[in-house]
Structure 1
Amino acid sequence: MRVCVLGGGVIGVTTAYALAREGHEVTLVERHADVARETSHANGGQLSYAYVAPLADPGVLAKLPRMLMSRDAALRFVPQLDLHQWRWCLAFLRACTRARSRQSTAALLALGFLSQRLMHEVVAREALDFDYVRNGKLVVYRDGEALEGARRQAGFQATLGCEQHVLDGAACVALEPALASIGEQIVGGIHTPGEEAGDCDRFTRGLALAAKREGAHLELATEFTGLRTKGLRVLAAQTSAGNIEADAFVVCLGFQSQPMLAALGVHVPVYPLKGYSLTLPHANAQGAPRVSVTDAHHKVVYAPLGERLRIAGMVDLAGMSAHADEARIALLTRQARETFPEAGFPEAGSPEAGSPEAGSPEAADSGALQTWTGMRPATPDSKPLIGATHFRNLWLNTGHGALGFTLALGSAQLLADLLAGRELSIDGDAFAASR
């Protein structure tokens, strides 16, 4: 079968790889000169297979006033004159029930476990160099009530096969000594030994080469402009390189999936949650964490990537623009310095204290703190959209929010199974666009 995959982020590339390995004639269309140039480029780096609980949770409702009033809130809502934003928000509020949160958690855990198994297979099969480590994850809490909620969540997830351990504050610092500077503030944590980390950008670029070896064709630096349809069938993808005909088309365009599909009358609840990341290119091995750490209070994640330390955080529900808010970057930088003061961050105000793009060789060579802004394509219930549309040969694999790297391989396999009409290893209906 000829398959055209639209989008060259981690979701599009894993989809192309999975389909090419099954013998399909795959063409991937990406507007940039390389893959992983947008949201996949400098994400948090954590492969958090057990930390997939949806953002929509009953506990969020009490935090709404702070989201609206404070510029320093980890989760910030900036109202827009945008009907799509308000529809998404209403759907999000409807998903903030205990029953729906638990249903979503169970479905996402199943997809996460599938992704983890496939990651181990890919790492064993392909010569990918992406600073991959199986280093576990420690989520630390500075508030007793929040820790108790995490304890209850860990108990529920244990019934679904998760191995997690509740630690007191002293045990958290013993596990990760780099936390000693804030040790007195830590009341406890949740340790998940099976979690992993890696560089999503390097993973995606390496897997794109593997997909090419499997026969996939990458149309890079090619602008996608729309789909040509007849009745309920897509005939071709319209691009700057001409029309690309195929038997099936898979949309992996992140938050840009929504406007493109809306033009065809396919309405998907995908909205961007803007996030920020920093990369410290030469972290001090004695002062930076070696376990992946999440500061639950600030909603900031820390992932060691070789000699580098990746820091990511913030959720801004603030429109469709990827423009960086310098105040948010400054806040993230300050929180990182306070949490790991011995990690080797440049002094505030020094020439190395900030550079425009994470991952650039010039910034890495200079030792500058690299910054990045990404638009995470989220659904109201945090479950991605994987499967068919009402067009007979148009498929979706989009809406992964902050879990794109974590869920990419499982999502690609689920899409490939659905396309082939095979029996599924997990509940595919949980991710259907029609749910």
Structure 2
Amino acid sequence: MGAGIVGLATAYELQQRGLQVTVIDQAQPGTGASGGNGAQLSYSYVQPLADASIWRQLPRLLLSPSSPLKLRPQWDTHQWHWGLAFLRACNRHTSERSTERLLALAALSRHRFEAMLQSESIDCDFSRTGKLVLYDTPAGLASAQRQMELQRAWGSQQQAVSAARCAEIEPALQHYQHRIAGAIYTPSECAADCLKLCQGLQAVLAARGVRFLLGARVQGFVRQGRRIAAVRTSAGAVEAQQFVLALGSHSHPVARTLGLRLPVYPLKGYSITLDTTEASATVPRVNVTDAARKVVFARIGHRLRVAGMAELVGHDARIPPARIESLCQATRALFPGCSQFEELRPWTGMRPATPTGLPVVGPHASGPANLLLNTGHGSLGFTLAFGTAAQVAELLAPA
């Protein structure tokens, strides 16, 4: 259940192990949270949003009209449960433990993703050009360096660099270096067009006999004792021996039909996709994250993906013009000559986030015996998809 990058990666890993697979989704593959995501594959930059530093940032993040974080309280107990659990996770011990587990999962995901890409040769504008995370204050840079040293113990290869070095690594930042206090540089980071990858995976899987039931909304389940006999959809019931729930932010309401509560809530994000100019010196080649604005930039072919924001507003698909203008302003500030800004392709998506930043993978303690979960990847869905897919495949069909 689910045809985003997580669901498709899971279908791929299961098909590779000889299982007959049906993929069910109410939309076309990759058109949910995967479609317009930040495009960065951040295997070494996985620090969860829940961090002790959130407490001192909270007033500015919640009250500033230009804040990248927005909260709109609702009459929704799930939102309040999630928010309180998130605040409880904002401590150093939880953040460090989550970071260690995320780095290990990201390493597995990189291995499985690159093996798939080499085997299938899917055209998805994949690049391995590295990543710069920019900081505008010495204090911000110092905090990032502490995180870098923490991650070094777990095998992460990163380095702190000066503003001048940033401009050498990415010449398109030359004009902006006076605004940079420093950066964390990860040479091995990658980028790709997640939507093109999803479409390519669908084609590969369909050619190998995987059944796609698209335009079918999951409505509930047919139970037989402690097992699921079938999933009920708007296109009829689908029987199977095993079921995997990978519906992103919709996983929680679907799980509720089984009496299960999942700690997954939508974090709404936005992106624009710009056609780049021919002036290569003004267009970034390296992935860039502006830590102050919480905006990411990724080159995908002849386009630039710009993404950011995190809003706890429920499933709200509206795209406020002010949010898109904020992304345009950030782009003009860092890379003013990168595009004519004629076509923005505004997009919004609901990242399925857990309070700790760790995805929910495997059986539920109170759930049916033949149901596995694969959801809650937050803003790291693309990065972690093939890692959690491999974990699910190992549970269902050990190698």
**Taking structure 1 as the reference length, what is the TM-score of the superposition?**
0.89
Alignment of 1:257-406 (within 5 A): 257-284=251-278, 285-346=280-341, 352=342, 368-389=343-364, 390-406=367-383
The equivalent residue for 1:104 is: 98
Structure 2 CA distance for partners of 1:24 and 1:169, relative to 1, 3 Å: same
Are 1:408 and 2:385 matched, yes or no? yes
Q: Deviations over 1:66-125 (max 9, x none)?
A: 222112111222222211111001100111111110100000000100011112211110
Q: Secondary structure at the match of 1:215?
A: coil
Provide the secondary structure at the position in 2 that maps to 1:163.
coil
| Worse-matched range after superposition: 200-209 or 316-325 | 316-325
**Structure 1: where are the runs of 5+ without partners?**
1-5, 347-351, 353-367, 423-435
Q: Distance in 1 between matches of 2:396 and 2:87?
A: 32
The separation in 2 between residues aligned to 1:44 and 1:244, in whole angstroms, is: 34
Q: Distance in 1 between matches of 2:222 and 2:136?
A: 54
Tell whether 2:5 aligns with 1:10: yes
The answer to whether structure 1 residue 95 and structure 2 residue 70 are counterparts is no
Q: Which segment drifts farther, 309-318 or 325-334?
A: 325-334
**Cα pair 1:277 1:372 within 8 Å, conserved:** yes
Residues 17 and 216, structure 1, Cα contact 8 Å, conserved in 2: no
Contact 1:278 1:372 in 2 (8 A): yes
Residues 181 and 341 in structure 1, CA contact (< 8 A), matched pair in contact too: no
Corresponding letter in the other structure for 2:385: A
TM-score, length basis structure 2: 0.97
Give the distance between the partners of 1:206 and 1:263, measured in 2 at CA: 32
Count of aligned pairs: 396
Measured against aligned partners, the alpha-carbon deviations of 1:181-220 in whole angstroms (never above 9, x if no partner) come to 2210101001101100000000111112222233311112
CA contact (8 A) 2:4 2:31 kept: yes
Please tell me whether residue 161 in structure 1 is matched to residue 155 in structure 2: yes
- 1:17/1:208 contact within 8 Å kept: no
| C-alpha distance in structure 1 between counterparts of 2:197 and 2:328, whole Å | 26
What is the DSSP-based 3-state SS (H/G/I as helix, E as strand, rest coil) of the residue aligned with 2:21? strand
Shift of 1:370: 1.2
The CA distance in 1 between the partners of 2:130 and 2:321, in whole Å, is: 31
1:127 positional shift: 2.0
**Cα distance in 1 between the residues matched to 2:370 and 2:95:** 31
Tell me which residue corresponds to 1:22. 17
Structure 1 ranges of 4+ moved more than 4 A: none
**Conserved 8 A contact 2:17-2:397:** no
Tell me, yes or no, if the aligned pair for 1:257 and 1:270 is still in contact at 8 Å. yes
Counterpart pick for 1:35 among 29, 40, 43: 29
Residue 134 of structure 1 corresponds to 128
Provide the residue aligned with 1:220 in structure 2: 214
Taking the TM superposition and a 5 Å limit, the aligned residue runs for 1:187-226 are 187-226=181-220
CA contact (8 A) 1:337 1:345 kept: no
Q: Aligned equivalents of 1:221 and 1:272: distance in 2?
A: 21
Q: CA deviation at 1:18?
A: 0.6
Return the match for 2:117 from 95, 114, 123.
123
User: Secondary structure of 1:58's match?
Assistant: coil
SS in structure 2 at match of 1:140: strand
1:144 pairs with 2:144: no
Aligned-pair CA distance for 1:231: 2.6
Separation in structure 1 between the aligned mates of residue 65 and residue 5 of structure 2, nearest angstrom: 31
Query: Matched residues in 2 for 1:164 and 1:210: separation?
Result: 35
Deviations 1:269-317 (A, max 9, x none): 1000000001002344221100000011101100000110000011111
Residues in 2 aligned to 1:216 and 1:264: alpha-carbon distance in whole angstroms = 26
Give the letter for the 2:358 counterpart.
K
CA shift, 1:180, in A, is 1.8
Q: Distance in 2 between matches of 1:421 and 1:85?
A: 37
Structure 2 residue aligned with 1:248: 242
373-382 or 222-231, larger mean C-alpha shift: 222-231
SS at match of 2:394: helix
Cα shift readout 1:41-89 (whole Å, capped 9, x = no counterpart): 1110000001111100000011111222112111222222211111001
Give yes or no for contact 1:385–1:398 (8 Å, CA) kept in 2. Answer: yes
Deviation, structure 1 residue 264: 1.2
Take 2:363 and 2:398, find their aligned partners in 1: how far apart are those partners?
A: 11
Cα deviations across residues 120-174 of structure 1 (Å, max 9, x unaligned)?
Answer: 2111100200000011111111011010011011111111001101101111111
Residue 421 of structure 1 deviates from its aligned partner by: 5.5
Q: Helix, strand or coil for the counterpart of 1:150?
A: helix
Contact 1:58–1:96 (CA<8 Å) still a contact in 2? yes
The answer to whether 1:185 aligns with 2:160 is no
Unaligned runs of 5+ in 2: none
Within 5 Å, give how 1:419-434 maps onto structure 2. Answer: 419-420=396-397
Paired with 1:144 and 1:277, the residues of 2 have a C-alpha distance of 28
1:62 equivalent to 2:39? Answer no
